Chain A
Amino acid sequence: MNNNLLKVSLSPHISGKGSVKSIMYGVIIALMPAFIAGLYFFGIGALRVTLTAVVACVLFEYVIQKYLLKVESTISDGSAIITGLLLAYNVPSNLPPNIIILGSLVAIGIAKMSFGGLGNNPFNPALVGRVFLLISFPVDMTSWPKPILTRASAIDAVTAATPLAIVKEGLAGGTPYSKLLTQIPSYWDLFIGNVGGCIGEVSALALIIGLFYMLYKKIITWHIPVSMTGSIFIFTGIMCLINPQSNADPFFHILTGGVLLGAIFMATDMVTSPMTPKGMLIFGSAIGILTVIIRVFGAYPEGVSFSILIMNAFVPLINKFCKPKRFGEIIK
């Protein structure tokens, strides 16, 4: 017999390969294409904003855990990096650093740490930070620089309204949708991201690459992205069919604004989304419907952040009522 004492523990005695870290870094990798796209279209500004947000988030998490909560620091798990990235993706590339740092503080300090850190936050921290900034600094948050390719010169960052804002104002002013189409970028530009907007949300292509990566790595399931974009597509499709002149078409709605970023990275945030496939479908479709309602009938041109936050609040309720089918249970 060896001298070491044998260990006794309860089964199972082996564990799978996945870890919180691997999930978080998987998400970070999936977020990289969107970052590259942002860098390509908005230049050095995107890098500056993203770096500021990430560093600020990680720093705030570290400081709060070390000095305020006096617990072991968990910054290495990568969740603060994701919060920083997502916050940066949701703001314009010319946002002043002090505003970004404030947003990071709200995201990490209020939305995450005050609830007990990773896993306990009811709302998506990055979105809380983003919405806080949107309400507090409406002007800074809604003056988006044009993509580099369409600028007259590379140096001065000309700001322009997003396609969504153009359409919203145009339709409100009574201009028919067919005429507005000439003012907005082509679907191809919208797809690859050659439009004005927040850093991470512009390039649908980059986001979809991230989606496939996460699906391949089994980090997320298809339920939320598909149900969310699907419900937006169906809802706006019906409205477009009823009155094509005063409603934008469904492809436009899905490709613009934060729909894809929200559907792929924000609504699928594990902590703040439902646990069962059924719940995820309900959650995703409700976000989609709320988004369209805010976009079409509300005061803001964009509603993804708000609708995700609203539905975050419903997650405990969804979890309570959407139970998985128990084995051996007879369905009446």
Chain B
Amino acid sequence: MQSTLKYAILSLSTIGTVSAIILYFIAQKFKVIEDPRIDDVEQVLPLANCGGCGYPGCRNFAEACVNKHDLACLYCPVGGPATMQKIAKILGLEAGEQIPMIAVVRCSGSPENRPKTTIYDSVKNCLIASSVYSGDTGCEYGCLGLGDCVASCLFDAIHINEKTSLPEVDQDKCTACNACVKACPKKIIELRKKGPKDRRVFVSCINKEKGAIARKSCKVACIACMKCQKECPFDAITVENFLAYIDFEKCKLCRKCVAVCPTSAILETNFPPKKDSELNKEPIVTQENNTNV
């Protein structure tokens, strides 16, 4: 009994020692030397691997940060300026200036505004649906409401509103990673400047049809009446292909265009309610609720 114990301890410890020595040498031989700062940078990143920065994953972004010696062209849209400041601190560099962005859904074609003309009866996927036909309404540009954008969002920031069957962006969660923009086969979603206090003014329509046809299929379509373009004091609005577009770089959020739009295709978000005197001037009330876009 004693000897068995002795042999067992002896042989096991020998095996252990030999393995440890072998492992040591193998570890030495196959050692990969890597900048330890990559790990540090990766630590401060959100690690969602969303690809919003243009790199396949957070690790690749961290490598790029360390290797480029300049953070001007690098930006993590998810982490935002705070994260970039942290990275800059680790690397001893200056973080580039970035304007915070947000995804904006440019369609207001809820069932009331845009009556259905057919019933879609296949797999709920925008890409498939758009490949076979123009949509279940008269507007071939509008949202299909089948939720490719919802599926693409890694941050749970976009959802289909049951009532309007349109996607809505949760502005607290949206990181402007561009995933939904890429996912939308109709190219309805756009990244726009988040704006001061989340205030934005944009044309919520991408219908390139002539005014009369657009109006026929959707009550809140842009009919290219040019009123907004004339009204805008900052030359921020252009009308091309029967569609108005507000350049968010030029827009000063004066909201004059919102007031003149006859179909209320231009939306404003997060502005304080207008005073009574102003309300009287504005015949059409925007149908947008003020928390979400």
Contacts and interface: CB of A to CB of B under 8 A. Distances in A.
Q: Do chains A and B touch in the complex (CB under 8 A)?
A: yes
Nearest to B136: A8
A270 B29 CA distance: 52
Contacts of A10: 122-123, 128, 132
Nearest to B116: A5
B131 to A, nearest CB: 9
Nearest to A6: B118
A98 interface: no
A12 to B, nearest CB: 11
A326 interface: no
Interface in A1-29: 5-10
A214 B118 CA distance: 42
Nearest to B120: A8
Interface string A118-145: 0000000000000000000000000000
Interface in B88-141: 116-123, 128, 132-133, 136
B117 A5 contact: yes
Contact of A5 (B119, B128, B133): B119
A7 B129 CA distance: 13
B117 A9 contact: no
A115 B142 CA distance: 41
Contacts of A5: 116-119
A22 to B, nearest CB: 23
A273 to B, nearest CB: 28
B138 to A, nearest CB: 12
B148 to A, nearest CB: 16
Contacts of A7: 118-121
A15 to B, nearest CB: 13
Contacts of B117: 5-6
Contacts of B133: 8
Nearest to A11: B132
A6 B116 CA distance: 10
B118 A8 contact: yes
Contacts of A8: 118-122, 132-133, 136
Contacts of A9: 120-122
Nearest to B131: A10
A232 to B, nearest CB: 45
B122 A6 contact: no
A8 B116 CA distance: 12
A135 to B, nearest CB: 34
A5 B132 CA distance: 17
Contacts of B128: 10
Contacts of B122: 8-10
A5 B111 CA distance: 14
A8 B133 CA distance: 8
Contacts of B136: 8
A6 B133 CA distance: 13
B133 to A, nearest CB: 6
A73 to B, nearest CB: 24
A193 B275 CA distance: 92
Most B C-beta atoms less than 10 A away, residue of A5, A6, A7, A9: A9
Nearest to B115: A5
B182 to A, nearest CB: 23
B146 to A, nearest CB: 13
A10 B129 CA distance: 8
Most B C-beta atoms less than 10 A away, residue of A6, A7, A8, A10: A8
A6 B119 CA distance: 6
A34 to B, nearest CB: 41
B99 to A, nearest CB: 41
A8 B118 CA distance: 7
B139 to A, nearest CB: 15
B137 to A, nearest CB: 11
Contacts of A6: 117-119
Contacts of B120: 7-9
A104 B123 CA distance: 36
A10 B128 CA distance: 9
B136 to A, nearest CB: 7
A6 B120 CA distance: 9
Interface string A31-63: 000000000000000000000000000000000
Contacts of B121: 7-9
B129 to A, nearest CB: 9
A223 to B, nearest CB: 32
B44 to A, nearest CB: 39
A9 B120 CA distance: 6
B120 to A, nearest CB: 6
Nearest to B135: A8
A6 B123 CA distance: 17
A297 B33 CA distance: 56
A9 B117 CA distance: 14
A1 to B, nearest CB: 11
A9 B132 CA distance: 8
A9 B118 CA distance: 10
24 contacts: A5-B116, A5-B117, A5-B118, A5-B119, A6-B118, A6-B119, A7-B118, A7-B119, A7-B120, A7-B121, A8-B118, A8-B119, A8-B120, A8-B121, A8-B122, A8-B132, A8-B133, A8-B136, A9-B120, A9-B121, A9-B122, A10-B122, A10-B123, A10-B128
Given A6-B117, A9-B120, 7 more contacts: A5-B119, A6-B118, A6-B119, A8-B122, A8-B132, A8-B133, A10-B123
Interface of A: 5-10
Interface of B: 116-123, 128, 132-133, 136
Q: Which 7 A-B residue pairs are closest in the complex by CB-CB distance?
A: A9-B121, A9-B122, A10-B122, A7-B119, A8-B118, A6-B118, A7-B121
